[in-house]
């Protein structure tokens, strides 16, 4: 099973790039962020003509998330209220369309577009921290059903110094502040682990390059697009890759896709025993 995540920074602007990447890479599920389109105007027909199923949760000009899959997903849930129907803050935070999940072959895939926060002095920064606290409650509620979880998206947080091209200068700023990192670590708890770091411990791997200041040409990026897996799935992960070359497209998104390959569904115990006999 291949699951991918990509902040496309407008699905209509990048439609042909997305369809081309889907054809080349053939994921079972692509999770899109920052689709920037209200649901009635989402280019659904183009995806369906190419053989894809789409679940959407969008808004005009800002935010927006979508799930693009070969097979229909089960139990699609939109917004924080999808897990927290009685949480008043979840309803308020859900006015921005940033959360969608669905079941793919028994795996709960959660697609997130975490708020940026703008700057430490902005009113958007405490909003981001509140959002992350709500995410923790959301994950706690989801965990009660016992579904294997793969959580992906644009987290707008570099968790460690090795996730930033210039940590000495940028650590402590927005997307790399202690409060943001602590809030995300709190949400992850002991349940979820960073799939990319299982395969690549070194610095120098980025998923986002700012459009400004020639960041792409100088390879001055951040790793803020993540895939987190529960323990069961972590043991079945076979690779996790940043598709950096996509950032070099004409009129690209400022983010590159990230994908994980899982050996799912796992072989049952009986099949494992039979295999050992031979």
Which residue in 4, 17, 16, 9 sits closest to 37, CA to CA? 9
DSSP 8-state code for residue 242: E
Q: How far, in Å, CA of 69 to CA of 59, rounded?
A: 21
Q: How far, in Å, CA of 145 to CA of 76, rounded?
A: 15
H or E segment and range at residue 47:
helix 44-49
Q: How far, in Å, CA of 223 to CA of 202, rounded?
A: 12
Q: In the sheet where 149-154 sits, what is the strand order?
A: 74-78, 99-104, 107-113, 149-154, 225-230, 192-194
Tokens matching residue 262: 């899982």
Contact status, residue 261 vs residue 237, Cβ threshold 8 Å: yes
Q: How far, in Å, CA of 188 to CA of 143, rounded?
A: 11
Contact status, residue 53 vs residue 72, Cβ threshold 8 Å: yes
Q: How far, in Å, CA of 98 to CA of 58, rounded?
A: 8
Q: Does the N-terminal peptide bond of residue 130 adopt cis geometry, omega within 30 degrees of 0?
A: no
Strands 65-69, 29-33: pairing kind: antiparallel
Give catalytic residue positions: 113, 154
């Amino acid at each position: 099973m291949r699951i991918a995540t990509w902040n496309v920074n407008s699905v209509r602007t990048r439609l042909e790039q997305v369809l081309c990447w889907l054809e080349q890479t053939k994921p079972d599920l692509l999770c899109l962020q920052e689709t920037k389109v209200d649901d009635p105007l989402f280019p659904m027909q183009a995806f369906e003509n190419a053989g894809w199923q789409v679940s959407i949760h969008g808004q005009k000009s800002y935010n927006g998330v979508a799930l693009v899959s070969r097979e229909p997903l089960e139990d699609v849930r939109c917004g924080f209220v999808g897990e927290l129907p009685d949480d008043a803050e979840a309803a308020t935070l859900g006015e921005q369309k940033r959360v969608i999940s669905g079941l793919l072959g028994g795996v709960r895939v959660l697609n997130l577009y975490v708020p940026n926060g703008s700057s430490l002095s902005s009113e958007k920064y405490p909003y981001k921290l509140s959002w992350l606290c709500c995410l923790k409650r959301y994950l706690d509620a989801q965990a009660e059903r016992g579904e294997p979880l793969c959580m992906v998206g644009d987290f707008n947080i570099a968790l460690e110094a090795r996730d930033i091209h210039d940590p000495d200068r940028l650590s402590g700023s927005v997307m790399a502040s202690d409060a943001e990192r602590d809030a995300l670590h709190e949400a992850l708890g002991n349940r979820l682990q960073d799939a990319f770091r299982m395969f690549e411990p070194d610095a120098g791997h980025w998923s986002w390059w700012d459009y400004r200041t020639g960041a792409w040409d100088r390879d001055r990026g951040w790793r803020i697009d993540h895939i987190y897996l529960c323990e069961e799935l972590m043991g079945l992960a076979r690779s996790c890759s940043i598709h950096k070359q996509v950032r070099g497209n004409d009129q690209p998104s400022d983010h590159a896709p990230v994908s994980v390959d899982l050996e799912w569904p796992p072989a049952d115990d009986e099949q494992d025993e039979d295999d050992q006999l031979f």
